[in-house]
A and B are shown apart, each in its own frame.
Chain A
Amino acid sequence: MSKENSRRNFLKKGLEATAFAMLATTEANAFSSQIPGRDEKDSRHIGQKGKHFVMVLDLRKCIGCQACTSVCKIENEVPEEQFRTFVTETEIGEFPDVRKAFLPQLCNHCDEPACVPVCPTGATFKREDGIVVVDNDVCWGCGYCISACPYDKRYFNKRTQTADKCNFCAQRVDKGLLPACVETCIGGARVFGDINDKNSEVYKLLHNFPSTVLKEAQGTKPQTFYIGLDSRVEELFSTTQSLDDIVKAEEGFKREWEKARGEVENHG
C-alpha cells in the first residue's frame, strides 16, 4: 500500500469513528416525529388496540363521599394538594327548595383533545385505546397542555415536575383491572369500560340513558359521559365572583396559583 493510500485510509477510518461516536451520543436524542416510546411500540404507549375506553359518571348515584378522590391519590402517588380527580360539591336551588349536587371531575380523555396537538415535545398523546397519557420522561414542563385543556384537568406534578393528569389508571387497566376510582366508588356512580364492546356496562348505560358531556362547545369530544347532569351545576364553570373570593379574602388565602405551580407547600 502506498503512503498516499494509507493516509487516506487513516483519514477514512478516523472519519468513520467520529461519525460513529457522534451517532452513538445523539442516539438518545435522535429525531422522531413522535417520541421514542411510541416509536418502539412500548405497550404502555400503544395501549389495547381495538378497544376504546370511556367512563360513565352516573350522577344519580354519586353521594360526594370523595372515596374516588382519595384512592386516586394513593394509587397514582399524587402529591399533596394536587388531584387527578375530585368531586365538586355545591348547592343548588333556593331555600326551602335546595339540594346538594356533586360533580365528579377528571380528565375527559377527549377524542379530539385540546391538550395533545399543542404539545411541542409530543410527550402527551392519545393511545390507540383512547386513553390520553403523558410520558413524563419526555415532557419538558412548558405547560402548554395545561393552558389548553378547557377542563383544567392538568397540573404540574410537584414530584416529577412534569405535566400530569388522570390516565384512567392505564397501569391497572393494562393488567385487566379497573381504574382505582371505579373500583372504590361505593355508589357505583363511576363505570368504566370498552365502548366498542356491546356487552359492556358503559355501552348499555350510554345506549339506554340520556347522557351528556361537559363543555361540549369546546369541540374536544369528551369520552367521560355524565348521566343526570344538571345544567345549573355546569354553570359553576362560568361563575366569576363567588363565595370563593369572600373566603379567600377572609382567610388571606393567597398564592394559590403558585401552590398549583407546585412552588409553595402550604396555604398562604
Chain B
Amino acid sequence: MDNAQHIMTLVSSITIEKPWGIDVPNYFWFTGSSAAAFIISSFAHVFGWKKYKPIAGIALLMAFVLLVAAPLNLVDDLKQPGRIMNFFSYGWENFATSPMKWGVLLLIAYPILIFFEAQALYRPYFVKIAQQSRGLTKMLNTLLAFGNMDLSEKALAKDHKKGYVLGAIGIPLALAVHGYTGYILGAVHANVMWHTPLMPIIFLASAMVSGTGLLILLIPLFQRFLSERKSVDRDMVATLARLLSWFIVADLVMRFLWLTFSLTFANGEKYALYQYFSLHFQDTLWIDYVLCLFVPMIIGFTKLRNIPIVVYFGGLVTAIGVWLFRWNTVIGGQEIPRTTPGFLHYTPHVFGQGSIVSVLSNWGVLFVLICIVLLVFPWDEEMEECYKGAENAK
C-alpha cells in the first residue's frame, strides 16, 4: 500500500467520536435486571400467584439494590459528573424529546416506590424484632417500621393493601425504568442499529431474561448459605427455569422481528447493518443465540430443569448473554460508520473513568448493597413463613 492511500484514508477518518463506553451496557443490564426482579416479585404481590410468594420478598430487595447501584454507571460515564445538578435544574423544555430526561423522574420514583413496598412487606417483622431487642437494633427496627408498632389484623391488612397498591403502580414504573433505556437508543435515528421502535420492547424482553437468570443464581445461594433452612428449594429453581424459558421465547420473537425487518425490509442503511452482522455472524450465532438463549431455553422446557446445577448454568449464561447483547447493541451500534469508511473498534481501558475497573467497582457496590439489605431486612423469616404458610395450606 503506498503512502498516498495512507494519507487518503486517514484524512477520511477524522473526528471519530463515539461517546458511550462500557458503563452504558452495564447500566442497561442493571436497570433491566432490576425491572425483571420487580416484575417477578409482583407475580406474588399483585397477581397473587402463590408459587412465587416465598421469593417475592427477596426479588423485591434485589430489584431495589440493582436500581440503587445502576445510576452510578451513568455518573461515571459523564464527562462533567460535578454538574449533575444541571440535569435536574435545566433543559426541561426538552423533556418530551429527550428520553434521557425521563430518567430523572424514573430513577428517583422507582427506588423510592420499591423501598416503601418492601417496608410494607417487612413491617410486621421489623416490629417483632424491635419488640424482642434492645438498644440500637430496637431503634433501627422501630425506625424501619416507621414507628407503627401495631400488629393487629387490621394493621396487617393495611400493610398488605399498601404492598398491593405499590406493587401495582410499580409494574408500569419498572417497565418504564428499563423501557426508557431502550427508548434512549431507539430515538437515535442516526444509528442504524438502534433506530427501531422495537428497541424498548427488545430491551424489556431480554431484561426479563437476565433478571430471571440472576435470581436463579442468587436465590439458591441465599437459601443454601444464608438462610435458616440451609437448603435450596429445588421446586422453585425448576419453576424459575421454566419461567426463564418463556422469557427467552419472548426475547427471541422480539429479536426475530427486529432483525428480519432491519436486515431485509429496511431502507438503504440495511447494508451497513448487514455488513456488521456478517462480520460478527459466528460469535453472534454461537454465543449470543445458541449458548446464551437456546441452551437455557431447552433446559427450562425439559426435565433438565430438575437438576439444579444445570439450571444454575442456564441462569449464568443467560445473565452473561444479555450483558453481551447490551454490549453488542450499545458498542456495536456505535461501531457502524456514519460518516467515515470502515468500522470503528472500541477496547475499554482497564483503569480510569469508564473502564473495566469502574464497572467492576460498580459490581462491588452492588455486592455491598446486597449484604446491607440482607442484614437489615428480615428476608429469611419472611421467606420461611411463606413456606410454612404454603405447607399449612396443603
Contact A245 B17 (CB under 8 A): no
Residues on A with C-beta less than 8 A from B8 are 89-91, 243
Contact partner of B93 (CB less than 8 A), chosen from A122, A153, A154, A243, is: A122
Give bound CA distance, A13 to B354, whole Å.
48
Chain B, interface size category, equals: 35 or more
* CB pair B342 A120 closer than 8 Å: no
* Cβ contacts under 8 Å, A149 to chain B: 190
Q: What mask results when residues 159 to 201 of chain B are scored 1 for a CB within 8 Å of chain A, else 0?
A: 0000000000000000000000000100111110000000000
Contact string against B for A residues 7-44, beta-carbon threshold 8 Å, 1 for contact and 0 otherwise: 00000000000000000000001111111100000000
Given A121-B91, A140-B78, answer yes or no on A147-B19 (Cβ-Cβ < 8 Å). yes
Q: A250 contacts which chain B residues (CB < 8 A)?
A: 1
Q: Output the least CB separation between B293 and chain A (Å).
A: 26
A-B contact pairs, 25 of them (CB 8 A): A32-B92, A33-B92, A83-B14, A91-B8, A117-B97, A120-B87, A120-B91, A123-B90, A123-B91, A139-B80, A139-B83, A148-B188, A152-B338, A156-B79, A161-B79, A162-B79, A236-B12, A238-B269, A240-B336, A241-B343, A247-B1, A256-B13, A256-B344, A257-B18, A261-B354
**Is A242's CB under 8 angstroms from B190's CB?**
no
CA distance A155 to B79 in the complex (A): 11
A35 touching B79 by the CB < 8 A rule?
A: no
Task: Chain A residues near B90: list those with CB within 8 A.
Answer: 31-32, 34-36, 121-123, 138
> Residues of B contacting A196 with CB < 8 Å?
none
Across the interface, which residues of A come within 8 angstroms of B99, CB to CB? 118
B86 within 8 A of A: yes
Complex Cα distance, B91 from A36, in Å, reads 10
Task: Give A131-153 interface residues, CB cut-off 8 Å to B.
Answer: 138-144, 146-153
Is B275 part of the contact surface with A, judged by Cβ < 8 Å? yes
Query: Contact: B78 with A141, CB < 8 Å?
Result: yes
Cβ–Cβ < 8 Å partners of B77 in chain A: 142-143
Q: Does A186 contact B (CB under 8 A)?
A: no
User: Are B15 and A155 within 8 A (Cβ)?
Assistant: yes
- Taking the nearest CB of chain A, how far is it from the CB of B162, in angstroms? 32
Contacts of A219 in B (CB 8 A): 189
* A151–B89 touching, CB < 8 Å: no
User: A88 near B: Cβ within 8 Å?
Assistant: yes
Tell me the minimal C-beta distance from B53 to chain A in angstroms.
40
Task: Provide the B341-353 mask, 1 if CB < 8 A to any CB of A, else 0.
Answer: 1111111010011
A88 B344 Cβ-Cβ under 8 A: no
Q: A140-B84, A254-B347 are in contact. Are A217 and B12 (CB under 8 A)?
A: no
A168 interface hit (Cβ, 8 Å):
no
A257 touches B339 (CB 8 A): no
Contact with B along A114-133 (1 / 0, CB 8 A): 10111111110000000000
Q: How does the 8 Å CB contact mask read for B269-305 relative to A, with 1 for contact and 0 for none?
A: 1011001100100000000000000000000000000
**For the complex, is A204 an interface residue (Cβ under 8 Å from B)?**
no
CB proximity of A266 to chain B, nearest CB, Å:
14
The answer, yes or no, to whether A223 is at the interface (CB within 8 Å) is no
Whether B94 and A140, one on each chain, are in contact in the complex, defined by CB atoms closer than 8 angstroms, is no
Instruction: Using CB atoms, name the residue of chain A closest to B331.
Output: A257
**Contact partner, A141, options B13, B80, B92, Cβ 8 Å:** B80
B9 close to chain A: CB less than 8 A: yes
A137 to chain B, nearest CB (A): 9
Given A82-B15, A86-B15, A254-B345, do A237 and B91 touch, yes or no (CB 8 Å)? no
Query: In whole angstroms, what is the CA distance A261 to B17 when docked?
Result: 7
Asked if residues A89 and B11 are in contact (CB atoms below 8 Å), the reply is: yes
Going nearest first, the 5 A-B pairs with the smallest beta carbon separation are A141-B79, A143-B19, A122-B91, A244-B342, A150-B190
Knowing A83-B14, A147-B188, the reply to whether A243 touches B78 (Cβ < 8 A) is no
Q: Which A-chain residue is minimally distant from B335 (CB atoms)?
A: A257
A147 touches B94 (CB 8 A): no
A residues in contact (CB < 8 Å) with B: 29-36, 82-83, 86-91, 105, 114, 116-123, 138-144, 146-156, 161-162, 217-219, 236-248, 250, 254-261, 263
Q: How far is the CA of A223 from the CA of B269 in the complex (A)?
A: 23
Q: Which residues of A contact B25 (CB under 8 A)?
A: none
Contact with A along B362-383 (1 / 0, CB 8 A): 0000000000000000000000
A140-B80, A140-B87, A156-B79 given; A151·B338 CB < 8 A: yes
Partner of B1, one of A122, A242, A246, A260: A246
The answer on a CB contact under 8 Å between B16 and A118 is no
Q: A147 CA to B83 CA in the complex, in Å?
A: 20
Since A114-B190, A142-B74 are in contact, a sample of 15 more A-B pairs with Cβ atoms closer than 8 Å, ordered by chain A residue number, is A29-B88, A32-B89, A35-B91, A36-B90, A118-B98, A141-B79, A146-B17, A150-B190, A152-B340, A162-B79, A236-B339, A240-B341, A242-B9, A257-B16, A260-B16
Contact call A241/B100, Cβ cutoff below 8 A: no
User: Is A118 within 8 A of B343, CB to CB?
Assistant: no
CA distance A248 to B19 in the complex (A): 21
CB neighbours of B74 from chain A (8 A): 142
Check if B11 sits within 8 Å of A87, measured CB to CB: yes
Quick one: closest A residue to B346, CB to CB?
A257
Cβ-closest chain A residue relative to B99: A118
Contact across chains for A152 and B89 when beta carbons are under 8 A apart: no
Q: Which of B14, B99, B188 has the most CB of A within 10 A?
A: B14
Instruction: Kindly report which residue of chain A lies nearest to residue B194, judged by CB atoms.
Output: A147
Residues of B within 8 A of A119 (CB): 91, 94, 98
Contact of B339 among A114, A147, A152, A260 (CB under 8 A): A152
Q: Is B9's CB under 8 angstroms from A247's CB?
A: yes
A144 x B15 contact (CB < 8 A): no
Identify the closest chain A residue to B83 (Cβ).
A140
Given A152-B338, A244-B13, A263-B349, CB of A142 within 8 Å of CB of B91: no
The reply to whether A150 and B98 contact each other, CB–CB distance below 8 Å, is no
CA distance A244 to B272 in the complex (A): 16
